[in-house]
């Protein structure tokens, strides 16, 4: 009995826990309510011959060499540096994050170096001594005009909240270089993708004699009696029957269009900074190793954010408000800790995490648990 471990959720948190436990001679069962492994990273080759990420683009980027080396046990890599443009209301496409070219186009300037751009942007800033919300943080960094063009309409669509209502932790991830840098993740030294896709990577992580996977399987509390310990990535509020109320998430509906001509202009991601209901479009064939076979077809995916209740309770992004009201509810749930269970992953810990952060958390927490249970 002490050797049997249940893992709820077959995404990155579950996969890393499962592999580490299996390699330490634990008998691991992984369940997932979905009919596939890989969680929100699940990808597949569409009838167009193009690889598509079912739950939106997942782009691996990190400066954590330990995480990259860990995953390299299970996949080769193809270099890919993500770039994004924003379609403004006049259909002008400009780079994002805001860089030298963006400033020149918006303000009809002709800057040629980062120093001059920074000096100009400093004249736009509304300096804030006390950062309370996302508007404060953005006004302090880039001023009112750039904030209202690039972030206020997009944020309203994405979160159904104004910048004054959301936590600045959501936007502080944004990097501004004000140089000619066009990469979306300019500060990350490692930017690449699994050479055969994420699903293949997960298949190899789970390929161990001590791991059993059961898909299309809902978690039931009665299952716990058959295991020594459970690592649970299901929503923590759902596990506790919402006794302190719901922890809300934003979700996304995906609209896929198959086209006979390439209308992407070479772009992968085009954000919409307008009043439409959509936030961005993705052209999958422009991502490295995604145009697997050429069938003279193209697929464009357009995203519409929504409440998770309106999308079959698909939870993508935990809602972080400026007053942290939901964070306070989460802490109540966390206080109901159980000796035979740890909550893991985005939904289990109600955190807004990138892939490399989930992997890093999981690597270290499961190793600590194993050392404490020798």
pLDDT digit string, tens, across residues 141-184: 999 999 999 999 999 999 999 999 999 999 998 888 899 999 99
Q: What pLDDT shows up at residue 195?
A: 97
pLDDT number for residue 230? 98
Sheet containing strand 60-62, strands side by side: 60-62, 190-194, 77-79
Count Cβ neighbours within 10 Å for each residue of 39-57 and write b for 16 or more, e otherwise. Answer: bbbbbeebebbbbbbbbeb
**Res. 373 pLDDT band, cuts 50 70 90:** very high
Both tokens assigned to 248:
């809300």
8 A C-beta contact, residue 28 and residue 21 = yes
3-state SS, residue 269: strand
The values of phi and psi at residue 34, to 5°, are -80, 165
Average pLDDT, integer, range 72-96: 94
Query: How many other C-beta atoms can be found within 10 angstroms of the C-beta atom of residue 299?
Result: 20
Average pLDDT, the chain: 96
- Per-residue confidence (pLDDT) for residue 175, from 0 to 100: 85
Structure-token pair, residue 359: 């992997």
Percent over 90 (pLDDT), the chain = 94
Given a contact cutoff of 8 angstroms between Cβ atoms, the answer to whether 25 and 4 are in contact is no
Rounded CA gap, 96 and 176, in Å? 9
pLDDT tens digits along 255-290: 999 999 999 999 999 999 988 999 999 999 999 999
Q: Give the containing element (helix H, strand E) for 252.
A: strand 249-259
**How many residues comprise the chain?**
374
* pLDDT for 1 beyond 80: no
pLDDT tens per residue, range 207-257: 999 999 999 999 999 999 999 999 999 999 999 999 999 999 999 999 999
Distance, in Å, from the CA atom of 66 to the CA atom of 61, rounded to the nearest integer, reads 13
3-state secondary structure of 274: coil
pLDDT in tens, 323-340: 999 999 999 999 998 999
> Rounded mean pLDDT of 121-140?
95
Number of other CB atoms surrounding residue 201 within 10 Å: 24
Q: Could you tell me the pLDDT band of residue 91, with boundaries at 50, 70 and 90? A: confident
Could you tell me which residues are beta bridge partners of residue 307? 250
DSSP per-residue codes, 136-191 = HHHHHHHHHHHHHHHTHHHHHHHHSS-TTTB-HHHHTT-----SS--BSSTT-SEE
Per-residue pLDDT at 89: 79
């Amino acid at each position: 009995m002490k050797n049997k471990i249940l893992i709820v959720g077959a995404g990155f948190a579950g996969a890393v826990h499962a592999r580490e436990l299996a390699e330490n001679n634990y008998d691991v069962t992984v369940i997932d309510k979905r009919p596939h492994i890989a969680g929100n990273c699940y990808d597949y080759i569409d009838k167009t011959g193009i690889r598509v990420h079912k739950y939106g683009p997942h782009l691996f980027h990190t400066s954590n060499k330990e995480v990259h080396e860990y995953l390299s046990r299970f996949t080769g890599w193809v270099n890919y540096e993500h770039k994004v443009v924003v379609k403004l209301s006049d259909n002008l496409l400009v780079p994002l994050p805001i860089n030298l070219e963006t400033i020149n186009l918006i303000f009809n300037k002709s800057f040629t170096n980062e120093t001059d751009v920074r000096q100009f942007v400093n004249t736009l800033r509304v300096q804030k001594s006390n950062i309370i919300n996302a508007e404060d943080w953005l006004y302090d960094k880039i001023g009112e005009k750039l904030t209202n063009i690039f972030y206020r309409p997009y944020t309203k669509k994405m979160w159904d909240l104004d910048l004054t209502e959301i936590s600045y932790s959501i936007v502080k991830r944004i990097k501004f270089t004000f140089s000619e840098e066009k990469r979306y993740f300019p500060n990350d030294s490692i930017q690449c993708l699994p050479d055969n896709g994420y699903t293949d990577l997960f298949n190899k992580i789970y390929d161990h004699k001590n791991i059993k996977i059961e898909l299309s399987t809902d978690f039931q509390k009665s299952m716990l009696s058959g295991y020594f310990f459970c690592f649970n990535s299901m929503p923590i509020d759902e596990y506790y029957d919402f006794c302190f109320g719901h922890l809300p998430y934003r979700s996304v509906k995906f609209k896929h269009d198959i086209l006979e001509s390439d209308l992407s202009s070479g772009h992968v991601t085009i954000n919409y900074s307008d009043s439409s209901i959509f936030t961005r479009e993705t052209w999958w064939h422009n991502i490295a190793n995604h145009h697997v076979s050429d069938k003279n077809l193209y697929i464009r995916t357009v995203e519409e954010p929504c409440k998770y209740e309106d999308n079959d309770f698909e939870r993508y992004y935990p809602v972080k408000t400026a007053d942290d009201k939901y964070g306070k509810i989460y802490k109540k749930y966390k206080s109901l800790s159980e000796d035979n269970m740890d909550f893991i992953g985005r939904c289990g810990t109600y955190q807004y995490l990138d892939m490399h952060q989930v992997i890093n958390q999981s690597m270290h927490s499961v190793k600590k648990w194993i050392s404490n249970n020798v």
